[in-house]
Amino acid sequence: MQYRTLGRTGVQVSSLALGAMNFGRIGRTTQDEATAIVDAALEAGVNVIDTADMYGDGESEEMVGKAIAGRRDDIVLATKAGLPIGEERNHQGGSRRWLVTELEASLRRLGVDHVDLYQIHRWDPNTGDEETLSALTDLQRAGKIRYFGSSTFPAYRIVQAQWAAREHRLSRYVTEQPSYSVLQRGIEAHVLPVTQEYGLGVLVWSPLASGWLSGAVREGRDITTHRSAILPERFDMSIPANRARLDAVERLAKVAEDAGLTLIQLALGFVTAHPGVTSALVGPRTVDHLHAQLAAADTVLTADVLDAIDEIVTPGTDLAPQENHDTPPALLTPTLRRR
């Protein structure tokens, strides 16, 4: 396992981190299975576990808490808040009211007195940066969080938050958690240059592109991944973007084979090769899935392999732009651009 410094914090983190979104109802993973995954990850040298309050409406946090009981100090524990919990309109966002309340709930579910990294799950256009940063700074000073970060923020919002922290003399975001894979390279053009400029740690999610790069999605093969059952439109081959992804996957599989690697090793080795990336989050549903992903822990891609990938998917390009998660709200909601 490789280790890297998380931004400018001085904290050493593993290049592969364990994402716990699939723990519980989302991935149909039981507590025993979740604990076995955590055990195997820690044994392999993984020291980061990332979850969120809204994964299974808190179920993931509860399962992580039980799995890490008695060894919390050996783990860089991260969770997130901001996406809606239930139907109450104020149980979401980046307001002080919600973050203070929800952090207490997360700590209770996790069975700990603090988290190492508390992340705002999505930018909240209804809440000012000063409000959110002030609340996070106070929670940090109270010892309930060690650091805080953002997740899936557009590049311009990352810059704005850094400016607001300096302007109001508040603590700043020290990490960003964007989506990044061989098939979705858009952050190379905007987010990663900004995070590198500000010295942010970067924990990328979906490095296997929701299963597209797991080896399960291939030409002529029945697509029966867990994701295909939840989001069938992402694997509908009548959609041109999906067809383009499948064509790319076939070419990438040949590059991996020629290099003596699995497609998973190629995919994870690619994202961790970028100098702006600190760790890649893997989200296994089973121990077998985890072991297949851990095989990439020490994968270092050669220059010729990286060049071959660039020829298949152009740097800075998203093959499925409709799946971007940092699109400005005004492009998604007509009422925000037609007043």
pLDDT of residue 218: 77
Residue 248 carries which side chain, given as an amino acid letter?
Answer: A
Find the mean pLDDT for residues 86-94: 94
Tens digits of residue pLDDT in 103-125:
999 999 999 999 999 999 999 99
User: What global pTM score does this model have?
Assistant: 0.92
Residue 14 carries which side chain, given as an amino acid letter?
Answer: S
Long-range contacts of 257-261, Cβ-Cβ distance < 8 Å, separation of 24 or more = 259/301, 259/302, 259/305, 261/299
Block residue for tokens 């990850």: 41
SS3 127: coil
SS3 162: helix
Q: What is the mean pLDDT of the chain?
A: 93
Handedness of CA 191, 197, 198, 202 (dihedral sign): positive
Q: Which CATH class, in words, describes the domain spanning 3-209+265-302?
A: alpha beta
pLDDT of residue 222: 67
* Catalytic position from the list 55, 118, 173, 180: 55
Closest-CA residue to 41 (of 298, 211, 282, 268): 282
Find the mean pLDDT for residues 155-173: 98
Indicate the angle between helix axes 303-312 and 263-273, nearest 10 degrees. 100
* 180 vs 333: CA distance, rounded Å: 25
pLDDT at residue 96 above 80? Answer: yes
CB 74 within 8 A of CB 105: no
* 331 vs 257: CA distance, rounded Å: 40
Within 10 Å of residue 232's Cβ, how many Cβ atoms? 10
Q: List, in sequence order, every residue forming a beta bridge with 79; answer none if it has no partner.
A: 118
Residue 97 pLDDT level (bands cut at 50, 70, 90) = very high
* 249 vs 24: CA distance, rounded Å: 30
* 134 vs 139: CA distance, rounded Å: 9
Closest-CA residue to 303 (of 262, 255, 249): 255
Joined tokens for residue 82: 């901001």
Find the mean pLDDT for residues 201-221: 89
Stronger pLDDT, 338 or 230, i.e. the higher one: 338
* 283 vs 223: CA distance, rounded Å: 19
* 190 vs 220: CA distance, rounded Å: 36
Tens digits of residue pLDDT in 18-54:
999 999 999 999 999 999 999 999 999 999 999 999 9
pLDDT of residue 321: 81
pLDDT of residue 329: 77
pLDDT of residue 99: 98
Q: Where are the domains of the chain?
A: 3-209+265-302
pLDDT at residue 64 above 90? Answer: yes
Residue 114 carries which side chain, given as an amino acid letter?
Answer: H
Joined tokens for residue 141: 């000073």
* 95 vs 124: CA distance, rounded Å: 9
pLDDT of residue 185: 96
pLDDT of residue 227: 55
Find the mean pLDDT for residues 53-57: 96
pLDDT at residue 59 above 60? Answer: yes
Cα→Cα distances 285→18, 32, 188, 208, 281, Å: 11, 12, 28, 13, 13
Cα→Cα distances 66→20, 257, 265, Å: 13, 40, 30
CB 161 within 8 A of CB 150: yes
To the query of whether residue 55 is one of the catalytic residues in this protein, the response is yes
